[in-house]
Structure 1
């Protein structure tokens, strides 16, 4: 993927000097005071030599426009602007190339940058930032505020009056050039100096990096106030990337690492550059995703912005034919044809190399995923556990005595017509001892497709009503399928049933001995289940305060970490310890007043699957439509896809998070709206200190990360809106965060909570969210 197009030996060491590179030309100092311009496509041609500086050149850069191509070079005496095409013509005519002096005696300039219209140039010298006008050939702004020497400066691409500077004082500042005032000043980001800064125009993000390999991504809103979106560490990202590569190549054999490979080196963020976005199908439509490049001392790192993960690393050590082993400075230019041109200077030798990087095969298609989908493509196989059935108990009836055959007319006399009998005073005598028959007709599902959910509605921002449940911790909550009722599992061992407006007195269901850990509505909305830390599960109905089914009595050796109805209410799916259990059940709501202790409902184990030796920490499956897929997360930080049709593990994704996953949420939609079929293959996972990650089941890779909320010690859950456009998640800063599913920056921060927000749920019928705090 790396092609060395040109290698030059210089007369001076250029390890920490800004070099110039664009799609057509590269510029390097020659003899300290001159500039050599090479054509990237025809590197064997004689270079164009530019003379005019009296002192050694310290920085240079090309303009952003391609016609004409400008070069700006700086030394302690002059800052000169060169028109490359005009200089070439003068050289061909036998005349010396001439540039335009736009600044004089500005000191040791270490960094130059053009605005996107090439009408302004920023020059960093010491602690002073100069803004020069090439047309007027004068300094328009002199900005002083940093406490340490400046290292870089960049103009905002969508607003040329905004300039951002970084410094060795470990901060960056956002300047307003019209008023020469500071819009925003960052806090001290690191213990090491900041080296580079990059604007991402599509996302309106600001990215900065330091000498110790730390990268910060900030949102850059219209008010020019920066909010931290995510923080990345090159070394940690590299270790995760190596772990994924070892997993993918494990079957083919992994080469043993040498001692030299295990030596850790510093990874300074020397320069960053953005790449044109590429298109992938996510969220039911085509979405542009972005990469950006980080040039470090040992190679080029390609980072996917949405996931904050490495796509690949192009190491110098993996290409022994290169003339460079360690980089001192980078100048990166990304083209429109998925090719990148980079000019790199050696850290220890006076050598400069022009590299061409081909990215046509870089786009990731999956990290070993099996191409799964929540929608089945074939009916269940004959031996599938999903074909299991349970025998229902028939109501007992008294045996009828045999009737002997009699002639058609067997009465000895014909009954009287009644005219001569005494009149009856009562019309009928009701039967008081008749046995109540159990209805054998299945309850019809009410989940018919509605179209009254506004698909273009905005995310919820204001609270409609608040309710304090007497200082009781709410561990879980869930809306019913019609959005009219809410179940709340509490830490005081009870379950409360509210209406969706949270008005009136709730119905309380008591029976567990320890805090309730999970709840689940049935699809028919006639019953629900609750699981608790007391190793028991109970199924409740609307019409009875006592559970119809109690699963306990040492059936499970460890707490139930997830339980729900599955396969259109046919099964109860739950996990305890390292196993996943699939139970058939039949509810019989009739009661014998004498034998009330005896449970008439039937429950039967249909399948038990142990996908891993590690305990399962979270479980999720779709119940609103038929699906064979069950997702589980294990304490070894892996995500496993279970195919319940075959009763086997379909795929394993190791090290999905840096810590054990405590919540997994699928995009299940709603009966009141519809989404593109591809959207149902998305699911969320949450882990402490590792934010929320969105995964695509078809490729089993992360497609986006959400890290603005605070989640350090409590198991805060997340939810996807019925329209599939928003994500809600709890946070420990007494807020609930709402994200746009296509952006890593949060839309709204829902406040007015008095404690940690543990659980979040969207109403399936109306665009509102419910949040419960601890």
Structure 2
């Protein structure tokens, strides 16, 4: 913080609305006079405006940069000033005068211009007066709040909407044409709401209260406000300090100051920061950061992620003449620097601060170098170079003579035929055999190989086409095969069902676990799959055998397996049990011995065992299997995310307190073969936690880039998934719905309703636009897009056959 200007008025101005824009700042002096300073040249003599006869209570600058317009209010007048014209008249020795637009409206506590500067809203008591800025005219008089008003703002994308906050702890959305309330919020807090601002990028309105609570609502075209996220400044501050401490960026003095003082964080004023262009037809903000002026400093928050980016404390700058703020005036700033006018809460002092944000931009754009794509070949001592040595059968050495041979010479025992019925017909010739032409043979072979690229412009799957009950217990997990033709369903009744993707026909049941199945995974070659259960066992299954090819029993694990999958192009099995991350080599033997049918011929061997840095229990893990990748993401019960580099065999980074609760689901954007995405998009991954929604992270910076919490998730482990096109995110919910989000927005696109119970599992088909959901009561639902351009596999195959 840089203190550019210090003014000592004749009284404390902590309860007054001060005025500040990027070029000028203004404050009342001697009760009824106004001082206007140029922010670029604070040494210049200030402009003094006179015209009020009583004490000025509120001031604000217009939204447009040219001309610079100021509005001031006192109990006698509300006056609009042209600052540049007044400056010119003063230099000519004339008296600067403004235009009176309102008289005797009471004590005005807040003023605001609309975005065209044609109207002014004045808050006086529990009444809002909408005035014309060109002439003395009251356009509207709005009443309805049960307590005194605290702030008002015109909607930035709809000039006919006005949002007001009040001490009655609610906000209202007004339609100025009809002069009616189109939306009234519920009571949000135990403390009054103090401020409101808008995010035009996402059509969101944000409001804050005296006790440091911040709410973000989506303001749709139907004027219905929907809660997007809720933030607590104190909680975000604690998380921010923990991350700074883990990174070694918090000094002992700052840590002691944080531990000894816990004060309330009133949201005195809010404004978006970042590059901002303001014209009649173009208003655009480049990012979602917004600043919150509070009593102890300025908080910079990313509204998309509900993450506190940085805090500029007064206490960290001992040269400042202000220690506790009573009021803020923060105009929208550029990406490098902001200015703010701040008044002290106890002393008659007002300072103009310059807030450099270029360091914040640099920190946010820098990369820590992590990527799912390897940048170098594996090291010689890397765990990924481990190889499985297959056991050779031990045959006895021949020393001469005839050794006794077993009675049965083959592994498969053939029937003697004594119990079968005698044959009556020895030979039956085949008749009416039609030859199949070579062209038809080629066509039939080509039908199974025809795949169409995943439609990148397809609508989200929202139309339910199949509702199927598969069990009386929960559908714990779902996973499609790589070609999208089959689906694995892990159930709460300890079984795994293998369905066709169309959910038709009788499924293949894999039975053997003793407790609910919590994790399933397909191999890359789609020849086998694995299942992990709470019974502390893991099993690998094949298509041709109802019995598992590999059983890793309870004796090998001390705690249940929370997550397991194939890794490194099917070379390893990766799983988490307790605080241990285990890497297994394996070999699936497809041969079958009728004599030793219960002896496991397949091999599994522990290659390496790792322990989380905090020795906490692993709750979820994820790694890329579709291509070579060294990165493994591990979530712990301490709410952290740890990044393992399997090439080095170490933890390379830890993100503490990623959620407020332990993460129960982590999903990477693996990018299937039927769609094309940019390489950088593979570094995105999702995490889900109860009561804390879904967060999207960027592996390159290990920062949250988006947050989705419109769905309800309080206790059950509801999963999330990324669509193959990379445009949608699906999440389960406890309100018997599945939610589909646009990956770029925190507000949901579709709410798939009328499920029979909590939606626990969601999965996108990698080859076609389909969404499959699984519920707590054992039902599956398949959704297709609403667009008529959607074609099923059978339709594509039929079309391809007739085109040959």
Using structure 2 for the length normalisation, give the TM-score.
0.87
Q: CA deviation at 1:395?
A: 7.9
CA separation of 1:367 and 1:710: change in aligned 2, threshold 3 A:
farther
The separation in 1 between residues aligned to 2:498 and 2:298, in whole angstroms, is 56
Which is further off, 697-706 or 347-356?
A: 697-706
Q: CA deviation at 1:450?
A: 6.2
Q: CA deviation at 1:470?
A: 4.0
The separation in 2 between residues aligned to 1:716 and 1:389, in whole angstroms, is 37
Question: Aligned-residue CA RMSD in angstroms?
Answer: 2.3
1:452 correspondence with 2:453: yes
Aligned residue number for residue 461 of structure 1 = 462
1:86 correspondence with 2:88: no
CA separation of 1:337 and 1:485: change in aligned 2, threshold 3 A:
closer
SS at match of 2:682: helix
Q: CA deviation at 1:556?
A: 0.9
The separation in 2 between residues aligned to 1:716 and 1:14, in whole angstroms, is 50
The separation in 1 between residues aligned to 2:674 and 2:193, in whole angstroms, is 50
SS at match of 2:240: helix
1:715 correspondence with 2:713: no
Aligned residue number for residue 579 of structure 1 = 580
The separation in 2 between residues aligned to 1:704 and 1:245, in whole angstroms, is 20
Aligned residue number for residue 520 of structure 2 = 519
SS at match of 1:658: coil
The separation in 1 between residues aligned to 2:682 and 2:469, in whole angstroms, is 34
SS at match of 1:457: coil
Q: Is the 8 A contact 1:368 1:700 kept in 2?
A: no
Aligned residue number for residue 703 of structure 2 = 701
SS at match of 1:664: strand
CA separation of 1:450 and 1:696: change in aligned 2, threshold 3 A:
farther
Aligned residue number for residue 271 of structure 2 = 273
The separation in 2 between residues aligned to 1:507 and 1:103, in whole angstroms, is 79
1:372 correspondence with 2:370: yes
Q: Is the 8 A contact 2:275 2:334 kept in 1?
A: no
Alignment equivalent of 2:763, drawn from 761, 765, 771: 761
CA separation of 1:561 and 1:553: change in aligned 2, threshold 3 A:
closer
Q: CA deviation at 1:22?
A: 1.0
Q: Is the 8 A contact 2:100 2:135 kept in 1?
A: no
The separation in 1 between residues aligned to 2:266 and 2:734, in whole angstroms, is 33
SS at match of 2:243: helix
SS at match of 1:333: coil
Q: CA deviation at 1:398?
A: 11
The separation in 1 between residues aligned to 2:540 and 2:256, in whole angstroms, is 58
The separation in 2 between residues aligned to 1:449 and 1:6, in whole angstroms, is 71
CA separation of 1:290 and 1:450: change in aligned 2, threshold 3 A:
farther
> For each residue in 1:270-320, what CA deviation from the matched residue of structure 2 results, as whole angstroms up to 9, or x when unmatched?
110111359xxxxxxxx9532101011111111112211111111111111
1:683 correspondence with 2:685: yes
Q: CA deviation at 1:388?
A: 2.1
Q: CA deviation at 1:365?
A: 3.3
Aligned residue number for residue 359 of structure 1 = 357
SS at match of 1:361: helix
1:313 correspondence with 2:315: no
Q: Is the 8 A contact 1:289 1:306 kept in 2?
A: no
The separation in 2 between residues aligned to 1:674 and 1:367, in whole angstroms, is 25
Q: Is the 8 A contact 1:370 1:650 kept in 2?
A: no
SS at match of 1:73: strand
> For each residue in 1:547-597, what CA deviation from the matched residue of structure 2 results, as whole angstroms up to 9, or x when unmatched?
111110511111111111111111111111111111111111222212211
- Structure 2 residue ranges without an equivalent (≥5): 277-284, 401-425, 428-447, 777-804
Aligned residue number for residue 632 of structure 1 = 634
> For each residue in 1:716-740, what CA deviation from the matched residue of structure 2 results, as whole angstroms up to 9, or x when unmatched?
1111111112111111111111111
Q: CA deviation at 1:611?
A: 2.7
Q: CA deviation at 1:449?
A: 12
Q: Is the 8 A contact 2:736 2:757 kept in 1?
A: yes
Q: CA deviation at 1:448?
A: 10
Q: Is the 8 A contact 1:385 1:644 kept in 2?
A: yes
Q: Is the 8 A contact 1:289 1:305 kept in 2?
A: no
Aligned residue number for residue 321 of structure 2 = 323
The separation in 2 between residues aligned to 1:499 and 1:625, in whole angstroms, is 25
SS at match of 2:464: coil
The separation in 2 between residues aligned to 1:714 and 1:390, in whole angstroms, is 39
SS at match of 2:70: strand
Q: Is the 8 A contact 2:243 2:655 kept in 1?
A: no
Aligned residue number for residue 646 of structure 1 = 648
Aligned residue number for residue 142 of structure 1 = 141
1:304 correspondence with 2:302: yes
Higher normalized helix content (fraction of residues): 2
Q: Is the 8 A contact 1:277 1:290 kept in 2?
A: no
Aligned residue number for residue 598 of structure 1 = 599
Aligned residue number for residue 673 of structure 2 = 671
SS at match of 1:357: strand
CA separation of 1:449 and 1:44: change in aligned 2, threshold 3 A:
farther
Q: Is the 8 A contact 1:35 1:49 kept in 2?
A: yes
Q: CA deviation at 1:78?
A: 0.9
> For each residue in 1:45-103, what CA deviation from the matched residue of structure 2 results, as whole angstroms up to 9, or x when unmatched?
22211111111111111111122111111111111111111112221222211111111
Which is further off, 667-676 or 261-270?
A: 261-270
The separation in 1 between residues aligned to 2:631 and 2:547, in whole angstroms, is 32
CA separation of 1:370 and 1:86: change in aligned 2, threshold 3 A:
closer
> For each residue in 1:430-451, what CA deviation from the matched residue of structure 2 results, as whole angstroms up to 9, or x when unmatched?
xxxxxxxxxxxxxxxxx99966
CA separation of 1:95 and 1:709: change in aligned 2, threshold 3 A:
same
CA separation of 1:327 and 1:628: change in aligned 2, threshold 3 A:
same
Q: Is the 8 A contact 1:638 1:656 kept in 2?
A: yes
> For each residue in 1:325-361, what CA deviation from the matched residue of structure 2 results, as whole angstroms up to 9, or x when unmatched?
1111111123335211111111011111111111111
Which is further off, 207-216 or 745-754?
A: 745-754
SS at match of 1:57: coil
CA separation of 1:368 and 1:41: change in aligned 2, threshold 3 A:
closer
> For each residue in 1:26-52, what CA deviation from the matched residue of structure 2 results, as whole angstroms up to 9, or x when unmatched?
111121111111111222222211111
Alignment of 1:293-442 (within 5 A): 293-336=291-334, 338-363=336-361, 365=363, 370-392=368-390
Q: CA deviation at 1:508?
A: 1.1
1:547 correspondence with 2:545: no
Q: Is the 8 A contact 2:272 2:333 kept in 1?
A: no
Aligned residue number for residue 534 of structure 2 = 533
SS at match of 1:363: helix
Q: CA deviation at 1:469?
A: 2.4
The separation in 2 between residues aligned to 1:131 and 1:627, in whole angstroms, is 61
How many corresponding residue pairs? 723
Aligned residue number for residue 475 of structure 1 = 476
SS at match of 1:554: helix
Q: CA deviation at 1:646?
A: 2.0
Q: Is the 8 A contact 2:471 2:491 kept in 1?
A: no
> For each residue in 1:511-534, what CA deviation from the matched residue of structure 2 results, as whole angstroms up to 9, or x when unmatched?
111111110011111111111111
The separation in 2 between residues aligned to 1:213 and 1:571, in whole angstroms, is 49
Q: Is the 8 A contact 1:570 1:584 kept in 2?
A: yes
The separation in 1 between residues aligned to 2:729 and 2:665, in whole angstroms, is 14
1:566 correspondence with 2:567: yes
Aligned residue number for residue 440 of structure 1 = none
Aligned residue number for residue 429 of structure 1 = none
Q: Is the 8 A contact 1:298 1:316 kept in 2?
A: yes
Q: CA deviation at 1:21?
A: 0.8
Aligned residue number for residue 421 of structure 1 = none
Q: CA deviation at 1:505?
A: 2.0
Q: Is the 8 A contact 1:451 1:673 kept in 2?
A: no
Aligned residue number for residue 509 of structure 1 = 510
Aligned residue number for residue 430 of structure 1 = none
Aligned residue number for residue 59 of structure 1 = 58
Q: Is the 8 A contact 2:274 2:335 kept in 1?
A: no
The separation in 1 between residues aligned to 2:170 and 2:237, in whole angstroms, is 25
Q: CA deviation at 1:461?
A: 1.7
Q: Is the 8 A contact 1:450 1:671 kept in 2?
A: no
Q: CA deviation at 1:699?
A: 1.4
